[in-house]
């Protein structure tokens, strides 16, 4: 079981990459860089635009750029924006009615709810900038190639 769904996981990868590419990048280049489906990356970027995490620019030099305030948002903000609120157990959701036959008599409901509150507090403390600073992409990748003109076979010498 993953706490982060695939969409949130890849959104973090994309946001981190854009954090290190201050001039921005196009969806095709991001998809090629990480070996992801271009339509999937485009859909995530569309959602991130609508949620005000990135801004898009059209045209030949178009692409996506990270909004400055994105770095100050938390991991909890991103998860909530892209996924239904993460719950450790169904009974942590509001309303919890109908989630389980043991709802009213469950001996671990409150202890699990406390663990959920603690996890949520940690997620709310983790700023995206902290994740991006600690990433393996700690320097911008610049191969001297024109934007979005990298072939699918290009090798990035900065990646181990």
**DSSP letter, residue 25:** B
Q: Are residues 47 and 108 in the same domain?
A: no
pLDDT at 137: 62
For the chain, how are helix, strand and coil distributed in percent, rounded to 5?
Answer: 45, 5, 45
pLDDT at 88: 76
Summarised one tens digit per residue, pLDDT across range 34-70 is 999 999 999 999 999 999 999 998 877 789 999 999 9
Inter-residue contact 16 to 137 (CB < 8 Å): yes
Walk along the chain (160 residues) in steps of 10 and give the mean pLDDT of each run: 83 94 92 94 96 90 91 93 78 69 82 89 93 68 39 35
Looking at residue 9, its pLDDT comes to 92
Residues 6+ apart with CB under 8 A from 16: 131, 132, 135, 137
Q: How far is the CA of 88 from the CAs of 3, 99, 129, in angstroms?
A: 8, 13, 25
Query: Is there a domain that residue 132 lies in?
Result: no
How does pLDDT run across 61-76, given as a tens digit for each residue? 789 999 999 999 999 9
89, 112 in Cβ contact below 8 A? yes
End-to-end Cα, the chain, rounded Å: 28
Per-residue pLDDT, 98: 67
81 in helix, strand or coil? helix
Domain assignment of residue 61, yes or no? yes
Q: What is the number of domains present in the chain?
A: 2
Per-residue confidence (pLDDT) for residue 22, from 0 to 100: 84
Q: In this structure, what CATH number is given to the domain that contains residue 11?
A: 1.10.10.10
Do 111 and 81 lie in one domain? The reply is: yes
Give pLDDT, residue 11. Answer: 96
Residue 158 domain-assigned (yes or no): no
pLDDT reported for residue 34:
93
- Same domain for 80 and 114? yes
DSSP, collapsed to helix, strand or coil, labels residue 74 as strand
Q: What is the pLDDT of residue 95?
A: 62
Q: Where are the alpha helices (H) located in 21-154, listed in sequence order?
A: 27-34, 38-50, 75-82, 109-125, 128-133
Count CB atoms within 10 A of the CB of residue 32: 18
Q: Measure the CA–CA gap between 58 and 111, rounded to whole angstroms.
A: 50
Q: Whole-model pTM above 0.85?
A: no
pLDDT, position 149 = 37
pLDDT of residue 125: 94
CA–CA dist 94, 114 (Å, integer): 15
Looking at the structure, do residues 88 and 21 belong to the same domain, yes or no? no
**Residue 135 domain-assigned (yes or no):** no
Domain range for 51: 1-72+141-151
């Amino acid at each position: 079981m993953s706490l982060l769904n695939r969409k949130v996981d890849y959104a973090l990868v994309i946001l981190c990459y854009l954090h290190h590419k201050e001039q921005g990048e196009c969806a095709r280049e991001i998809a090629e860089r990480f070996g992801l489906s271009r339509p999937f990356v485009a859909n995530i970027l569309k959602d991130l635009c609508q949620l005000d995490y990135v801004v898009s620019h059209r045209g030949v030099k178009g692409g996506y750029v990270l909004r400055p305030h994105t770095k100050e948002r938390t991991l909890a903000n991103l998860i909530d924006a892209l996924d239904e609120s993460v719950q450790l157990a169904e009974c942590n959701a509001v309303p919890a009615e109908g989630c389980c036959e043991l709802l009213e008599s469950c001996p671990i409901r409150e202890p699990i709810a406390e663990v959920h509150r603690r996890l949520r507090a940690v997620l709310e403390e983790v700023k995206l900038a902290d994740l991006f600073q600690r990433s393996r992409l700690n320097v911008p990748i610049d191969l001297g190639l024109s934007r979005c003109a990298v072939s699918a076979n290009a090798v990035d010498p900065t990646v181990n």
